[in-house]
A = this chain, B = another copy of it.
Amino acid sequence: MRDTGVASDDDWRAYLTDLDKLREELRTFADVRDWDQFHSPKNLAMALSVEAGELLERFQWLSDAQSRALPPDALDAVSDEVADVLLYLIRLSDKLGIDPLAAAKRKLVTNDVKYPADKARGSSKKYTEL
């Protein structure tokens, strides 16, 4: 596609967002295991929270500076936890009919208004305190 500007079938599939594709694969993954019975939004939100805790654990006791310069094995471990969070986020969104990208874009616009650059510059205060 880069050369011709024309989308082949493969390109077309690529054009579908990667999140869409992961969503489909997760559906199949759950279907063939008959796991839909466990995948209530409540349970998926729990699972996501558990994974967020495991991600957090990777930074436990590290200084800020250390967390900015992870050695390769620590980085791999963090990647794994990032993956788990993302997979549950996609699955939860799917079960609820939420488009996570659209939600994120909307939120970014909201945050842009909540935190005007001139007021928020260099400050870590919550918008309610700016």
Q: Are B22 and A108 in contact (CB under 8 A)?
A: yes
- Report B-chain residues with C-beta under 8 Å of the C-beta of A25: 108
- Report B-chain residues with C-beta under 8 Å of the C-beta of A87: 104, 107-108
By size class, the interface of chain A is 35 or more
- Report B-chain residues with C-beta under 8 Å of the C-beta of A10: none
- Report B-chain residues with C-beta under 8 Å of the C-beta of A50: 53-54, 56-57, 60
Q: Are A45 and B40 in contact (CB under 8 A)?
A: no
Partner among B32, B56, B67 whose Cβ is within 8 Å of the Cβ of A40:
B67
- Report B-chain residues with C-beta under 8 Å of the C-beta of A89: 82, 85-86, 89
- Report B-chain residues with C-beta under 8 Å of the C-beta of A1: 7, 15
Q: Are A41 and B59 in contact (CB under 8 A)?
A: yes
Q: Are B61 and A82 in contact (CB under 8 A)?
A: no
Distance in Å from the Cβ of A126 to the closest Cβ of chain B? 9
**Using a CB-CB cutoff of 8 Å, which residues 55-83 of chain A contact chain B?**
55-68, 70, 75, 78-80, 82-83
